[in-house]
Amino acid sequence: MASLTIRNARKNYGAVEVLKGVNLEAESGEFIALVGPSGCGKSTLLAMIAGLESVTAGEIWIGDRMVNSVAPKDRDIAMVFQSYALYPTMTVRENMAFGMESRNVPKDQQKETIARVAALLQIEPLLNRKPGQLSGGQRQRVAMGRALVRDPALFLFDEPLSNLDAKLRVDMRTEIKKLHQRVGKTTVYVTHDQIEAMTLASRIAVMHQGELQQFDEPEVIYNRPANVFVAGFMGSPSMNFIDAELSSANGQTAVSFPLSDGNVASLPLANDIGDRAGERRIILGIRPEHLARNDADTPSRPGFATMDVPVEVVEPTGAETMAVLKFGDREVVGRFSPDTAPRTGETMPLVVDMTRACLFDPSTRRLI
């Protein structure tokens, strides 16, 4: 195993700056997810780690070795691609053995390694088949097996589940997590799917427009996002944002914004923010699951604010129900259990969990 350190990594294609000084560090055995929308630079960064793209500026270290000028074959890495990249004329066994053959690994050692990895991935019955005879999930297991037989210091995954259907993606996500728990190798995993990142990674690097927005544990990324972009990108449905102002309610700092009926909502803050807000204007961020129906069974607790809001649309999804609520001129999504779900057209008594609210500076878009 080896750690990975990236220091002020930059990548230019002519006058276009794709990466703008990325810094991050993965500890030995850690699972890091690079996540962000298409074009954010995450796949370019992975290619630079692998040696498939040159580094315009900065340093990339694998363990105690800077690898900027080291050839990909000498970096002690293994990469799993989105397209599987299996040789169609070779059997699964031959695909897995190919890299070992080129490195002159003895036949007995090849056989032993393939048997061990095939058992780990539960692909023993597939060893004599060719890729054309396999399902998408089976091909992805073989692609992972081909990487595993190398026993590298670093695993790199480039959106490996993008070509699979929704159910198979969930199954393979579980398999990748089990695999990492078994082998404990340092792993860098690129995805645009924030659910994959949240469920797999020990830490997540959120990227946008070539810059690292936040690098932290999934719980911190979700609950204390560094800025409006991270808050909106991570989570499905995403965080709700409401333009509001700071006010005073019964001697307590509150968040205020106009409602559709002409009244003003005043939601007391659960935590004192001191002078960190700077200006009176703020952006209130609240996740859909932190809205709930206010009824006789709802306990009155500090940090929970109440208000009445119109219900625009209700969307049952089975285990939960989404509802579009009207906060003044802003539509807000709430996540409810089917038992407490609102009805379209009703004015819903609502509880807002202000202990989980996030406040953002409207000028910098950063968390206050």
Q: Kindly report, residue by residue over 291-319, the tens digit of the pLDDT.
A: 999 986 655 677 889 999 999 999 999 99
Local confidence band at 52 (pLDDT 50, 70, 90 cut-offs):
very high
What is the average pLDDT across 251-275? 82
Q: pLDDT value at position 263? A: 83
If you average pLDDT over residues 266-277, what whole number do you get?
72
Which phi and psi (to 5°) does residue 5 adopt? -130, 130
Would you state the structure tokens that stand for residue 136, as one six-digit string? 């998408």
Tokens representing residue 269 in the block: 């803050």
113 in helix, strand or coil? helix
The residue ranges of every structural domain in the chain are 4-227, 240-360
Q: Would the pLDDT of 362 be above 90? A: yes
The superfamily in CATH containing domain 240-360 is Nucleic acid-binding proteins (2.40.50.140)
Mean pLDDT for the chain overall: 91
- Give residues with Cβ within 8 angstroms of 286, minimum separation 6: 239, 240, 242, 332, 352, 353, 356, 357, 358
Query: How many Cα atoms within 13 Å fall on the side-chain side of residue 99?
Result: 22
CA–CA distance, 145 with 120 (Å, rounded to integer): 9
What is the pTM for the complete model shown? 0.89
DSSP state of 289: G
The residue that leads in pLDDT, 33 or 165, is: 33
Structure tokens at 138: 């089976």
| pLDDT tier for residue 278 given thresholds of 50, 70 and 90 | very low
Q: In which band, very low, low, confident or very high, does the pLDDT at 328 lie, cut at 50, 70 and 90? A: confident
**251, pLDDT greater than 80:** no
- What is the per-residue pLDDT across 226-243, written as a single tens digit (0 to 9) for each? 999 999 999 999 999 999
Average of per-residue pLDDT across 351-362: 94
CA 160, CA 192: separation in Å to the nearest integer? 11
Per-residue confidence band for 249, with pLDDT thresholds at 50, 70 and 90: low
Predicted pLDDT at 89: 94
- Half-sphere exposure in the Cβ direction for 335 (13 Å, CA): 16
Q: How far is CA 72 from CA 56, 102, 125, 283, in A?
A: 17, 14, 32, 46
Give pLDDT, residue 277.
45
Nearest residue to 150 via CA among 91, 86, 90, 95: 95
CATH code linked to domain 4-227: 3.40.50.300
